[in-house]
Amino acid sequence: MTREQPKPLVELTAVDRRIYAEELAGFLPEEIVDVHTHVWRAGDFPPPEPETGERRTVTWPARVAEENPVEDLLESYRLLLPGKRVTPLIFATLPRCGNLDVQNAYVADCARRENVPALLFSDPAWSAEELEARVLAGGFVGAKSDLTMAPAHLPAGEIGLLDFFPPHQLAVHDRHGWIVMLHLPRDGRLRDPGNLAQLRQIDREYPGLTLIVAHVGRAYCNEDVGNAFEVLADTRRLCFDLSANTNAWVFEQALRCVGPRRVLFGSDLPITRMRMRRVTREGRYVNVVPRGLYGDASGDPNMDEVEGAEAEQLTLFFYEEIEAFRRAAGAVGLTRGEVDDVFCGNARRALAQALPL
């Protein structure tokens, strides 16, 4: 009796292979650093409790993967980026039911075992001393946090950056030259005046840290930008990562604003294993996916389904993101060296600054 082979993480189609071989493989450098990846184990999550209060995040990413242990992350690179050498910067996924310490311990263990850098998922309630001790003890190179960590009494529309990355913690990161991975709050995303004011404040007051604004500030649609890039044009250190974004026009504006030395590749794996195409409708992004592949998506405003020939032409979110950046790079005339910086060099410099001597 033959043993059934485990199902691969990603079943690549002829469309996927053609896109990688003809459009992406030659564009990408041989060495890549992915600054935005999540690792977690399903067993570290207790059964979900009934939700109360206002929801602060979208739910569709949970359709892609129930877990992403580090072995799955590394296998994703083997499948999706054949021939490339990839170093991930890893961190936990959103904590739930008090499992923040368990998740951070797992990430620290993965980083040691696989010899890859990692960020602590931080809690704004920690003192400066506690944050510093946790980063050093775990061998982390900085921290990631999220609006979901802001005090529970704050309405989602009123959460500011300093509510989950308070000044006393930013001062610690600044002193050590660590990396801060920031997810912008509020419905206005990158164009929100409060977000822009606090980004400028952090850039001005904490020159020692590396501030990475995830997802190009969650500017997934042109309407999310407003005058942000004009407001941020005189910042000196603020960086953007490309993760889970497929808007070539937004990438182009970011490159023109801060230059290719402050844009970094991030994938947001595992959610970019999703088979999809992103479109915008009335200022909202919508992920178009094969019907039924991710369950019943009919009630999700950020999801739509297609079938037949249209579904068969869909590739992976991961490839859609890189292809969008390839178009943006062509539009602004990036050199080979500048492309290599976005996918490797910029991250290498930030990590060199953040790693302990």
What is the domain-level CATH number for residue 124?
3.20.20.140
Q: Residue 44 has what pLDDT?
A: 95
Tokens of 285: 């992004």
> Is residue 157 one of the residues assigned to a domain?
yes
Q: Residue 7 has what pLDDT?
A: 74
Percent over 90 (pLDDT), the chain: 87
Placement of tokens 């969008």 in the chain: 324
What is the rounded CA–CA span in Å between residue 186 and residue 157?
5
Q: Residue 355 has what pLDDT?
A: 87
The residue range of the domain holding 88 is 27-43+57-274+317-354
Angle between helices 248-258 and 317-332 (to 10 degrees): 50
Q: Residue 54 has what pLDDT?
A: 52
Q: Residue 51 has what pLDDT?
A: 53
Number of domains in the chain: 1
> Is residue 231 one of the residues assigned to a domain?
yes
10 Å CB burial of residue 324 (0-12, 13-18, 19+) is: buried
> Is residue 102 one of the residues assigned to a domain?
yes
Rg of the chain's alpha carbons, rounded to an integer? 19
> Is residue 187 one of the residues assigned to a domain?
yes
Q: Residue 6 has what pLDDT?
A: 66
> Is residue 211 one of the residues assigned to a domain?
yes
| Tens of pLDDT, residues 159-196 | 999 999 999 999 999 999 999 999 999 999 999 999 99
Q: Which of these, 159, 161, 143, lies nearest to 151 by C-alpha position?
A: 159
pTM of the model: 0.95
> Is residue 52 one of the residues assigned to a domain?
no
Cβ atoms of residues 190 and 201 within 8 Å: no
> Is residue 343 one of the residues assigned to a domain?
yes
> Is residue 51 one of the residues assigned to a domain?
no
10 Å CB burial of residue 179 (0-12, 13-18, 19+) is: buried
Q: Residue 46 has what pLDDT?
A: 81
Instruction: Name the stretches of the chain with pLDDT < 50.
Output: 1, 56
Tokens of 265: 């590749």
